[in-house]
Amino acid sequence: MRVDSTSYERAVKAIVKRAKSGNGGYVCVASVNNVMEAHDSPEILAAMNGSELTTPDGMPLVWGLRSLGASAATRVYGPDLMPAILARAEEEGLAVGFYGGSPEALHLLVREVRTRWPKLTLAHIESPPFREPNADETNRTIKSLETSGTEILFVGLPTPKQDLWMARQRVQVRAVMVGVGAAFDFLSGRKRQAPRWMMRIGLEWLFRLATEPRRLWKRYLKHNPRFVVYFGWQLFRYRVLGHGRQGAA
């Protein structure tokens, strides 16, 4: 799975430029979970690799990129990337939309966004059904996005559901879609974020597991050990056998 070595500044600049061009596309923020889901599913792998940009959302991927030769790689974390894009969108006069989350979460999110960025245009606000939307619902969403003039659409669905949704709508949606996962809940204040010191040393997953064990146990306890084993083998092949050095970044 491709993970791009980037930064907040470069990511925001690329997203704003694409939004102004009207060419659409989508941006993924990737964690260990994304990598392992992509390893297990060709459809998810295609969705992740089909993005215009896939940022390293978790520190293990940053460390992985650096160990593979991308020394300038930094973390571009969805809940921090989203406010940076919102601030730039307000400056540039770009209309944004939100797709995902519960009605309550969206209400709190919109209130927070309007307080912090009062001049920002909110063109589309939608809480989709928890189940997979049917064809009619998806068509209504696409039509609403088109008529509203949304230029940047934040997608706050569980991963990899959000990545698959963005990949499937890429041709029909003209807005740039940015999958930010739990950022809706964090920015709205519905959920607590891990302390920054835990984020810096790669233990955010432990905090989230402790706060949502029933929902997240499989993601972390199944995927994390497998990632360590598979990436250890990849790193061995890169450093000892010299495989894949041209595509390290």
Contact 120, 90 (CB under 8 A): yes
* Owner of token pair 């791009």: 4
**pLDDT at res. 245:** 54
pLDDT tens digits, 212-247: 888 888 788 889 999 999 999 999 998 888 776 544
| Chain segment 73-87, per-residue pLDDT in tens | 999 999 999 999 999
Nearest to 124 by CA among 175, 184, 51: 175
Q: Each residue of 44-97: pLDDT tens digit? A: 999 999 999 999 998 999 999 999 999 999 999 999 999 999 999 999 999 999
By the 8 A CB rule, do 64 and 243 touch? no
d(CA 40, CA 187): 31
Asked if residue 19 has pLDDT above 50, the reply is yes
Phi, psi of 7 (to 5 degrees): -145, 170
Helix, strand counts (H, E) of the chain: 12, 6
Residue bearing the bigger pLDDT, 91 or 192:
91
pTM recorded for the entire structure: 0.89
pLDDT at site 246 = 46
User: Rounded to an integer, what distance in angstroms lies between the CA atom of residue 84 and that of residue 18?
Assistant: 16
- Could you give the domains of the chain? 8-198 (3.40.50)
Mean confidence (pLDDT) of the chain: 92
Task: Give, in order, the Cα–Cα distances in Å from 45 to each of 37, 61, 164, 217.
Answer: 8, 16, 10, 22
In percent, the amount of the chain with pLDDT more than 70 equals: 98
Closest of 143, 186, 142 to residue 165, by C-alpha: 142
